[in-house]
Amino acid sequence: MKRILVTGGAGFIGSHLCKKLLQQGHKVICLDNMYTGIYDNIKSLYEDKNFVFINADITNSIDLKVDQIYNLACPASPVHYQHDPIMTAKTSFLGALNVLELAKKNKARVLQASTSEVYGDPLIHPQTELYRGNVNAIGPRACYDEGKRIAETLFFDYQRQYGVDIRVVRIFNTYGPNMLEDDGRVVSNFIVQALNNEDITIYGDGTQTRSFCYVDDLVDGLLKMMENDNFSGPVNLGNPHEITVYELAQIIIEKTGSNSKIVYKDLPEDDPTKRRPAIELAKTKLNWQPTVTINEGLDRTIEYFKRRFDLKGGVDFK
């Protein structure tokens, strides 16, 4: 049994990770300031004697005894990370600094949940780990994009300077149960709007592409990366199956039986037009690739939202 700290553990991905680690028999310390995390995501975990929750902010120093650290603490959707961009940048930088100091003190392995946003609006397609990105350092998304880039810098500098045992993954678009209904991400937005028979809002002309990875596959990749003894990364984790935003909207309308119409609004500044991971490195180094199809994953996610809001057909959330 390992003592494992998961920062951001009450969030979307973090809550799934905590659950999986408990199933493996580990002692899990979930640390979250509940900015975007919610208690419903971890409510069932309190029944496990090996689960501990700490309401705290990762920008403050941490003093715990741990064997492994997963650093997932940071708002990840534009509506949340742009709400307080200075706090977002501080969370990425100071959060990374604090978990690295804790790892150094405990001689613990520490994994940084980085992001495909380090590639910005990419000029190469698909994106490999060698690509250095096309990021607007002063734009409205920069608090997150550049915050995650400096966090990666800190991780590799702590490895070089102090010998800290680091792992860095770059997470592409992920979806599934425990997403917030108002987080502004395209999958949850479309599902909520479709279930309410509201207009489905597409920003841009709908031809921009995304690659969506189901959360169970993503968590499997995180675990494999943490347990790999000979590879620090960075490594892309995502599903290389690419679809347009318009195609996603049509699939969700069909699956929900919705009467929603599609409406178009202006594309936000610096919003990527294409996004697809090259995952050859993950296949080679981690023996990992996603297995859940977009159809299967959307079915599970739609059912989650129906259960969460006790929906029967299309019922208004408000």
Q: Which of 81, 119, 144, 175 is catalytic?
A: 144
Q: Work out the widest C-alpha separation in the chain, in whole angstroms.
A: 58
Note the pLDDT tens digit of each residue in 30-65: 999 999 999 999 999 999 999 999 999 999 999 999
Q: Is 144 a catalytic residue?
A: yes
Band of pLDDT at residue 203, cut at 50, 70 and 90: very high
The answer to whether 70 and 108 are in contact (CB under 8 A) is no
Strands 242-244 and 209-211: antiparallel
- The secondary structure of residue 127, as a DSSP letter, is B
Rg (CA), the chain: 19
Residue from 241, 254, 260, 244 nearest 206 by CA: 244
pLDDT value of position 81: 74
- The secondary structure of residue 268, as a DSSP letter, is P
Weakest-pLDDT range from 257-261, 291-295, 314-318: 314-318
Write down all domains in the chain, each with its CATH number in brackets. 3-174+213-237 (3.40.50.720)
Sequence length of the chain is 318
Note the pLDDT tens digit of each residue in 275-286: 899 999 999 999
Band of pLDDT at residue 83, cut at 50, 70 and 90: confident
pLDDT value of position 314: 46
Q: Which two tokens stand for residue 136?
A: 């607007």
Edge-to-edge order in the sheet of strand 3-7: 51-55, 27-32, 3-7, 68-71, 109-115, 166-171, 235-237
CA distance 66 to 175: 29
Band of pLDDT at residue 77, cut at 50, 70 and 90: low
